[in-house]
Structure 1
Amino acid sequence: MLFRRLYWAAYIASHLRGQRRWAFLPPDVIRRAQLRRLRRILAHAFCHVPHYQEAMRRRGLTPADFRTVDDLARLPLIERDQVQSDPERFYSRAIPDSQCLTLTTSGSCGIPIRIRLDLPAVFQSAAHTGRERANVTPLLGREFGYREAMIVPNVAQTTLVLDFCHKHAWFPPGRRVQRRTYRIDAPLDHTVAALNDFKPDLLFSYGSYIGLLLAHVRAAGAPFHAPRALTYSADTLPLPVRRLLLEELCIPVFAWYRAVEAFNMGQECDHHRGIHLNDDLHPLRLVDAEGRPAPKGEAGDVVVSNLVNRATVLLNYRLGDRAALLPEPCSCGRSLPLLSFPPGRGDDFAVLPSGDLAHYTTIHDELLHGEPVWAAQAVQVSPSHFDVVAVPRECCDPSAMAARLAQRLSHRLRANLTVSVTLADSLPRTPGGKCPVFLSKVHRPIQSAR
């Protein structure tokens, strides 16, 4: 057991080498690394993954027909509901579950998905965080031993990843980070008190939550331990909050572009123009609603290919985000392409009868994890009422489900709430084809969050 932990520790160390300066390497060096990963993942998918075996043979393709990542467009576009309804079609038959870490996406586009990661992918991804932290650790004054606070919707899953890494690999005591995780649905005054007690050097959360946290601190006039740097993922940091952090509070802030389906997709540099894409790991392209290439410089749906993970192979996968590739190179000198910040939503919060705000993940967590449903969408009609559309996994009574949801949400959000439930075969889509998990018809004040 110790030998294997030492093996994976050495594996991480070997992949960590050079990550901090990777983005400054010549483009042809990065392109060669991309092609090596492309060939390996295509060969593996062709031999061991049912979806790609069928898709390539049906089109008369072999791995040798893919000369660059642009050729991945010859594969069928994968939609989220395909992976959700039949995940085993994308699983490698060569990698048993016992050798995998299984994670579940947040379902922020309406459908949670189970993703398996093989051991090399987990530890390569751990090493690739060196790119994300290249701008951050100099601000903290050290690479290891600093305090990091993570405010996330799913503390259990975050802890699962950290525990998995420490179970399978040995980390020297002096090369660790002191981390604490906090729930995104905890009362803000409790979270502020906990942060003041822990005094983190680095704070990580959702962009929308960081905005609300700062609004609460300023409105309450409460003392707040300012971290040396802030990082965020999952959704967008509002522009006024970004300006407040950078210009008034002088707290550096950086976006990390991540997803369970593709870790370490990109990171913001200290010039703050956009996100530098790790296209040697997870190349992406932009398409319109019909899957055609988006015009250059215009926003499109993000389609990503994961060249790292062999346990659940996702190539040409529509992620659910929209963004644009920026044509001008960044003045920071990095060779990696630049993506605009993926836009967030203005309705990430529900307005409670008290006027307090609740992050949408609090509501969605109850819908997906407390009921036998494949997917769900909540629409806040008034501060005290939610209409829910649910796609059930099994026969169920919508009235009984509504009563259970109302009881649990009322308890969790400390408010008297009512819920109506409609069962459906699929979720309603926006004119752009999206399935948002939460919509609000209630005017949102700037106050505090649950």
Structure 2
Amino acid sequence: MKLNLKKAGLLLSGVVMGSKLFAQTPADTTIKTQDYVQPFSGGFRTWSVGLHGGMMSPYTIFRGQEDYKTPNERWGYGGYVKKQLLHSFGLQANFFRGHVQGTTPNGINIYNRFETKIKYAVDISANITLANINWRNHKSFMQPYLSVGGGSMNYSTSLYANAGATAANARTDDFQQFYIPLGAGLKVNLAPGINLDLGYQVNFVQSDNLDGYNYGSGNDKFSYAHAGLEFSLGKRSKPQLATHNPVNSMRVEYLTAERALQMQVEQQRAANEQLRNDLNTTNANLARLTTDSDGDGVFDMNDKCPNTPRGTKVDGQGCPLAAPVTKVYVTEEDKRVVKDAITNLEFDLGKATIREKSFPSLDRVAELLVNKNFSLKLAGHTDDTGSDALNLKLSKDRAESIKAYLVEKGANASRIEATGYGEAQPIASNKTAAGRQQNRRVEFTLF
């Protein structure tokens, strides 16, 4: 009996503690579609089904004068279909089966043990959800609840006689009785639309024949402590009505409207700032109409060459006038310098690396370019040994290598053009070694 008392006490404590907990998912400034539904707009899952199993006992938390002193726990199971009408109120159709058993009757009785088989019990109950209202959270994590209803059960009671009693060893009677289920429990959200259901229910039978023994003036009752799963029906995108927080949805609506108003204020402030910047830009542009920063006689807005030195003669766009062009002619001596560079030009085999032997004649070409400001075109060529792509790259690299050397010696890079033609322009036959040697060349064109 003490063990039963402890079990029921722990179960009741768990339910009471659950009703005190507002275990909620944290508030979030981001509105999640699975948590948020606009107030009074519908869009919820309201139908659900559940299955459960647990322990039945003639012992209940409502202590009274039980007909039998020693209750024995037996298993029971059942299920339900629920329609959630409001956030905190729903109607539930319940069904369960099981056994109730006890020994050692109070008073004088030739039968010392009873076992009642509940063939079926059906009822309609009101389910009241508690503690799912909170200002700061979208949905609750736990929902304590209370339930009360009424229904009918069919059961058969078997009585077993004491050893040596003169009565028949066993007696079985069948009954159909009205009963009132009164329960409390706690639902824990495991996943969207799936809840763990922990409950304790006391069933008040409207007769004193549940144990087959009329003792005292009260009706019989028995308890059913159970655990099970509840599954919400409908689209997964919709939240479950029983777990939804309508107060927080109204709060979200208020905060959303407040944020929208704040955004409008910020946008108007940004627009005002843009107008101020545009006005400043317009004033600056107007000032430029009469501004000549470098004093060359051309206003800044039309000056294509700002910051020209004082006293420089400029054209109508403010750019310095070109100096008179002095013609420079290519002499025979200049051509000899270039020809000497071509004759002495050598590269490492298959590479664009200039050999040191070629440096003195290239230095004279660089000096010529610097002193007379000549332009130079470098055209690289190869024989037909190797692939077209490789020859084209090698000829281009060798021409670029010569250009880099000349620029390093002071020549103007913008006046030197380096091009590679690969094997496309031979000057001799590639079938002989001598012909291939002539085709491996870099041509210098001075102008």
> Do both share a fold (TM > 0.5)?
no
TM-score, with structure 2 as normaliser: 0.17
Higher RCO structure (Cα 8 Å, ≥6 apart): 1
**Structure (1 or 2) with the greater helix fraction:** 1
Q: Which has the higher strand share?
A: 2
Asked which structure has the greater CA Rg, the reply is: 2
